[in-house]
Amino acid sequence: MSKFWSPFVKDLVPYVPGEQPKLSKLVKLNTNENPYGPSPRAITAMQAELNDGLRLYPDPNGERLKHAVAEYYGVCPAQVFVGNGSDEVLAHAFHGLFQHDRPLLFPDISYSFYPVYCGLYGIAYETVALDEQFQIDVADYNRPNGGIIFPNPNAPTGCLLPLQAIEQLLQANTESVVLIDEAYVDFGGESAIALVDRYPNLLVTQTLSKSRSLAGLRVGLAVGHPDLIEALERIKNSFNSYPLDRIAIAGAAAAFEDRAHFQQTCQQVIDSREAVVTAMQGLGFEVLPSAANFIFARHPQRDAAAVAASLREQGVIVRHFKQPRIEQFLRITIGTPEQNHALLAALG
């Protein structure tokens, strides 16, 4: 039936998300979900929205959530954009900020949705190689571009670029947008949102899927200069004027307001990560330094695909990427202490 497709569709190579196995007994460490539940205050706020009010459209601007985000980060609501997961926010940024004559730059090992969006929106891009330690060197980005984007911490490596290096990048790149994708920043990094008032070309995206345990709610956001936010709003209102439902707005706002739960669960993940890293190194694995809720590891004597297959036979699912440079690495989500113990027992 492809004769009915628009011509460009046949050339698209869609993003492939991590497997969501149907079996309930598996130790699922392949999609970077948070092992701890969302804020009880968020659950209560969402339950309060389950009423007759659902016959009415939600606030198209998500003002309650924008104010909660603005208060949390010390910015004004006009600097905040909210959308249906950070992937949708990123899509609007690619569409509205990166369609220029010069190529978009991002790392050769990075979030694999970036080249997908370039294909969808017809954006030329160039990849910039990570160094031998799989780190981003900002000096490598000092070349003509129509924009720069990378996750921080990077995915799937988990490696963090310090804020000072991001500021150096911004000072050297004033004529195009620099987008810092902070899906994992709460597990060991400092948000570049601290820099948005000084750099009008900086856009920072975040998600509530990881550190706020709301992957099933699909809420993402961006913070930047009001001019950048207006571009995203124009795209959004030409695409889907009611992206966030009443339940999502209420739950996400309450999640931002519950700082104690957020800080406690993030710290639990960080503590578990450090314990898993130490144990993995004891088993002979090389583990890249991680500031995320996952680790990226390889064993000098074991084939990564074979290790992943062996773990799967023991009921533990991890992520293996087949692309060059990283085909011998496994990306392993940090789970509960019980899940981490099962992982280490299976590896042993």
Confidence (pTM): 0.96
338: tokens are 């019980």
Q: Which residues contact 103 (CB under 8 A, 6 or more apart)?
A: 123, 124, 125, 126, 145, 146
Q: What is the mean pLDDT of the chain?
A: 96
DSSP output for 169-224:
HHHH--SS-EEEE-TTGGGT---GGGGTTT-TTEEEEEESSSTTS-TTT--EEEEE
SS3 22: coil
Mean pLDDT, range 261-274, rounded to an integer: 98
* pLDDT tens string 120-179: 999 999 999 999 999 999 999 999 999 999 999 999 999 999 999 999 999 999 999 999
Distance CA 159, CA 134 (A): 8
8 against 95, higher pLDDT: 95
81 has pLDDT over 90: yes
What local confidence, expressed as pLDDT, does residue 1 receive? 58
DSSP output for 93-140:
HHHHHS-SSSPEEEESSS-THHHHHHHHHT--EEEE---TTS---GGG
What local confidence, expressed as pLDDT, does residue 18 receive? 73
Phi and psi torsions of 27, nearest 5°: -90, 105
Counting Cα atoms < 13 Å in the Cβ hemisphere of 289 gives 11
Mean pLDDT, range 9-13, rounded to an integer: 87
What local confidence, expressed as pLDDT, does residue 20 receive? 75
Mean pLDDT, range 69-82, rounded to an integer: 98
**Domains detected in the chain:** 2-37+260-347 (3.90.1150.10), 41-258 (3.40.640.10)
272 has pLDDT over 90: yes
Model confidence band, residue 24 (pLDDT cutoffs 50, 70, 90) = low
User: With pLDDT > 90 as the criterion, what percentage of the chain qualifies?
Assistant: 92
